[in-house]
Amino acid sequence: MKTYSLTQVTLTLSSLFLAWSLMESRAADDAALKQVFKGHFLVGAALNQSQFTGSNAAEVAIIDKHFDTTTPENALKWEAVNPKLGKFDFGRADQYVDFGEKHGMFIIGHNLVWHNQTPKWVFEDDKGEALTRDALLARMREHIATVVGRYKGRIKGWDVVNEALNEDGALRQSKWRKIIGDDYLVKAYQFAHEADPDAELYYNDFSIENAPKRAGAIRLVKDLQAHGVKIAAVGVQGHYDLLWPSTNLLDEALTDLSKLGVKLMITELDVNVLRGGTRGEVADLRRSRSRRNPYPDGLPAEMQQKLADRYADIFKIFLKHAEIQRITFWGVTDGDSWLNWPGVTNYPLLFGRDFQPKPAFDAVVKAATEFGNEVVTAPVGLGAKWDRHGQPGRR
């Protein structure tokens, strides 16, 4: 009988393992996110102009294959659609909505009332003085009626008020609050409902995983509900890093927010790989020649792996929470991300600058596959109005 040396056996086993892992990762490469997460949540991306005009064909192919919902990164913000008093410009916004429809996506509007990307004139009269409460309310109503009204029945859900909270959970002292008062929120939701009674209305914010801000978000939603606002979901933005939020904190926050009896949506997901490593890594970054931009030419394999592990951990928590109905990444490929600040090369998404899926993509697909068909039961009262095909009910 032929005998084999230990080395031969080890080599054969290693090549079999390598072949198996390659097959696994090829299988993951072929997977489409929207299929992988079917029955759990819609999967989407924030789109920029080069994508929704179709000029970036490589990214359009990724979007078409993987995403069934979309958010405009900038095209529907106040400064984009209403740059001057009395001047609306829907050129880009129309292209965005047309693109979403052409690709059969659940279309989100982002956003109506925010302290950022809102021109100065909005808050001032023709002499440059602060508007009165009534005048600003009238301006808000006109803006919302015009924008929401234009896309009535086409944009299915709106981030109505964006980022109204401070880190301590108190209401941010934005110009909206300063001039109108705390009820600017209730008014914004009432105006949005008037403009499209069938659209879902969301409250969207970042770092509401942290206890004080989370408590503020819960108070805010309860207050809206007490005023008769039918709020459909809380948008948890999901701008994460390698350490924050811990999986325990994330799990606890989602559990807490779900008690509001509204849906949850992860609306702007990315993982900043340049922030939050272990103490050792942070020290290494500090010692490195360019600590602001440590990886200008590509992410080293061990960091790719860290990002992949982090994404897997985050998705395992998302999968546990039946109230989550949508996960939207804030960009398609790493090159699109807002986290590439001037002079900084970041790698926060599932697709690389070469348009290829990264190890983080495979990790997310694996998390879903391992989760399998485990039955997740939505808490009573969380009936969804639509599913990915626009049909009522979802699970």
Binding stretches for ligand G3I (CB under 6 A): 73-74, 116-117, 162, 237, 268, 338
Catalytic hit among 73, 200, 268, 323 = 268
Nearer to ligand G3I, 190 or 328 (CB): 328
CA distances from 45 to 101, 269, 310 (A): 15, 9, 19
- For residue 127, the minimal CB distance to ligand G3I (Å) is 27
Task: Identify the burial level of 7 via C-beta atoms within 10 angstroms of its C-beta, where 0-12 means exposed, 13-18 middle and 19 or more buried.
Answer: exposed
Which helix or strand (DSSP H or E) is residue 271 part of?
A: strand 263-272
**Catalytic residue among 163, 200, 209, 323, which?**
163
Contact between 120 and 81 (Cβ < 8 Å): no
Q: Is 268 a catalytic residue?
A: yes
Rounded to whole angstroms, how far apart are CA atoms 172 and 189? 17
Specify the residue for token string 């804030």: 330
Of 235 and 359, CB closest to ligand G3I: 235
**Could you tell me the two tokens for 48?**
């920029």
Place of tokens 């009332």: 113
User: What's the min distance (Å) between Cβ of 348 and ligand G3I?
Assistant: 11
Task: Using the minimum distance from each CB to ligand G3I, give the nearer residue, 14 or 116.
Answer: 116
Cβ within 8 Å of residue 289, ≥6 positions away: none
Which of residues 89 and 134 has its CB atom nearest to ligand G3I in the complex? 89
Closest distance of CB 239 from ligand G3I, Å: 7
Q: State the pairing for strand pair 200-205/233-236.
A: parallel
Tell me, letter by letter, the H, E, C secondary structure of 174-234.
CHHHHHHCCCHHHHHHHHHHHHCCCCEEEEEECCCCCHHHHHHHHHHHHHHHHCCCCCCEE
Minimal distance in Å, beta carbon 200 to ligand G3I?
18
Residue nearest to ligand G3I (CB): 338
CB nearer to ligand G3I: pick between 190 and 237: 237
Q: Which residues pair with 162 in a beta bridge?
A: 204
Min dist CB 34 to ligand G3I, Å, is 22
Smaller CB separation from ligand G3I, 244 or 371: 244
Q: Is 302 a catalytic residue?
A: no
The CA distance from 203 to 220, in Å, is: 9
- State the nearest-atom distance from the C-beta of 234 to ligand G3I, in Å: 14
Q: Which positions are catalytic?
A: 163, 268
